[in-house]
């Protein structure tokens, strides 16, 4: 399950464990392709918390992390950013990237 987060809840939503936040917007074509991949991964990787943040409704968080293009997936481990994945990625590509943080 992917949880929708916002500027007010982002820090608390991504404070513990391994978190992946999908930064997206309704007008973004590649974001629409990325979204089902994130949904699938959220069902296959129970040890990872998946969230998504609409950048149009929540401009503060993307600005805080210097996110200039979407889709961007921000990977945090125990509240610390450990990776930033920019652009569309397949399920296998994302699984491979995330596997280095789940071991």
Mean pLDDT of the chain: 97
Q: Looking at 18, 31, 38, 74, which residue is catalytic? A: 31
Q: What is the pLDDT of residue 102?
A: 83
Domain of residue 16 covers 2-102
User: Is this model's pTM higher than 0.85 or not?
Assistant: yes
| CB atoms closer than 10 angstroms to residue 102 | 12
Structural domains counted in the chain = 1
Q: What is the pLDDT of residue 81?
A: 97
* Residue 90 CA from chain centroid, whole number: 14
Asked if 31 is an active-site residue, the reply is: yes
Asked if 50 is an active-site residue, the reply is: no
With contact defined as beta carbons under 8 Å apart, do 5 and 51 qualify?
Answer: yes
Q: Looking at 28, 45, 48, 86, which residue is catalytic? A: 28
Question: Mean pLDDT over residues 30-49, rounded?
Answer: 97
DSSP-derived pairing of the beta strands 48-54 and 18-24: parallel
Question: Mean pLDDT over residues 31-46, rounded?
Answer: 97
Query: What is the tens place of the pLDDT at every residue in 47-68?
Result: 999 999 999 999 999 999 999 9
Instruction: Provide the CATH number for the domain around residue 45.
Output: 3.40.30.10
């Amino acid at each position: 399950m992917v949880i929708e987060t916002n500027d007010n809840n982002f820090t608390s939503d991504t404070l513990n464990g391994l978190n992946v936040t999908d930064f997206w917007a309704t007008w973004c074509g590649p974001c629409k392709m990325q979204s089902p991949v994130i949904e699938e991964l959220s069902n296959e990787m129970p040890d990872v918390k998946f969230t998504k943040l609409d950048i149009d409704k929540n401009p503060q968080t993307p600005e805080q992390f210097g996110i200039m293009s979407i889709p961007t997936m921000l990977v945090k481990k125990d509240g610390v950013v450990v990776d930033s994945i920019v652009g569309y990625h397949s399920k296998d590509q994302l699984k491979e990237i995330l596997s280095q943080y789940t071991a």
